[in-house]
Amino acid sequence: MSDVPAGLETLDFSFSGGKPAGAFVPVLVGVVGSGNLEVLLEPAGGNDCAVRVETSARGFGPIWQAVMNDFHARHPLAGVRVSINDMGATPAVVSLRLDQAVAEITGGRP
């Protein structure tokens, strides 16, 4: 038996020092399917980028931290709430979905 208890794991991350995203219509990309995830981006008050992950794959907090650090380095956003429902997506898939979501709110502009 693994030491990791069954059930979902919730992870929270927050990043500051980003560029305000301004107003935008919330976007949803991806689907909660095996090896996949959905990413919801919404405008939020404040100057942070807050990330909440609900995942069925427990025990991968440090990897999520690294993936989100990379995301913040690529897209330093502020005033954005990122919500993720994950069903065991790999780090590469997570990064692609995050980039896809940002592309939707910026209309493809980097």
Q: Does 85 bind another protein (CB under 8 A)?
A: yes
Residue 105 Cα distances to 21, 26, 84, angstroms: 9, 8, 16
Q: What does the angle CA 23 – CA 100 – CA 38 come to, to the nearest 5 degrees? A: 90
- For another protein (CB under 8 A), the number of binding residues is 19
Q: Does 33 bind another protein (CB under 8 A)?
A: yes
Per CB under 8 A, the list member of 42, 70, 99, 104 interacting with another protein is 42
Q: What does the angle CA 75 – CA 102 – CA 100 come to, to the nearest 5 degrees? A: 115
Cβ(97)–Cβ(29) under 8 Å?
yes
Structure tokens at 27: 């976007």
Per CB under 8 A, the list member of 11, 18, 24, 40 interacting with another protein is 40
Residues in contact with another protein, shown as a per-residue x/- string from 64 to 83 under the rule CB under 8 A: -------------------x
Cβ(105)–Cβ(21) under 8 Å?
yes
Per CB under 8 A, the list member of 8, 59, 61, 65 interacting with another protein is 8
- Closer residue to another protein, CB minimum distance, 17 or 31: 31
Contact residues for another protein, defined by CB under 8 A: 6-8, 26, 28, 31-33, 36, 38, 40, 42, 54-56, 83, 85-87
